[in-house]
């Protein structure tokens, strides 16, 4: 399997890690779209939001707990955005479930 985020989890591709626990890894996005832009991914390979199963509930809970911890550490008290792109229409380019977290600038809504 050829998955860039699995390679990041294994340490075969370098990334700027900002958080790690048993379930998840968070690292800075290669092409940041805001002053703060990191990705939170499950260590387990899950293709996208359509593939999440009942057995993955601990992972998803920890994704959002880690976002909360990091947001406090990075002082994102003015708010931030969590984005999950799913499938072709959603603009998903890396086929390993991931959540973008963007902050430290006023973000537009709706997205393009």
Q: Return residues touching ligand 5GP (CB under 6 A).
A: 4, 13, 15, 27-31, 39, 85, 91-94
CB of 38 to ligand 5GP, least distance (A): 9
CB of 21 to ligand 5GP, least distance (A): 18
From the candidates 37, 45, 96, 98, give the one annotated as an active-site residue.
98
Specify whether 96 is catalytic.
Answer: no
Q: Number of C-alpha atoms within 13 angstroms, CB side, residue 6?
A: 9
Burial 19-58 (b: 16+ CB within 10 A, else e): eeeebbbbbebeeeebebbbbbbbbeebebeeeeeeebee
Q: Nearer Cβ to ligand 5GP, position 93 or 108? A: 93
Which residues belong to the active site? Answer: 98
């Amino acid at each position: 399997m050829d998955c860039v985020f699995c390679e990041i989890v294994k340490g075969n591709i370098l990334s700027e890690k900002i958080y790690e626990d048993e379930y998840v890894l968070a690292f800075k996005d290669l092409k940041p779209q805001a002053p703060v832009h990191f990705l939170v991914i499950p260590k387990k390979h899950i293709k996208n939001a359509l593939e999440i199963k009942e057995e993955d509930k601990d992972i998803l809970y920890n994704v959002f707990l880690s976002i909360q911890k990091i947001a406090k550490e990075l002082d994102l008290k003015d708010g931030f955005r969590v984005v999950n792109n799913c499938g072709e229409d959603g603009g998903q380019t890396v086929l390993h479930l991931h959540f973008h977290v963007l902050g430290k600038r006023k973000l537009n809504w709706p997205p393009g």
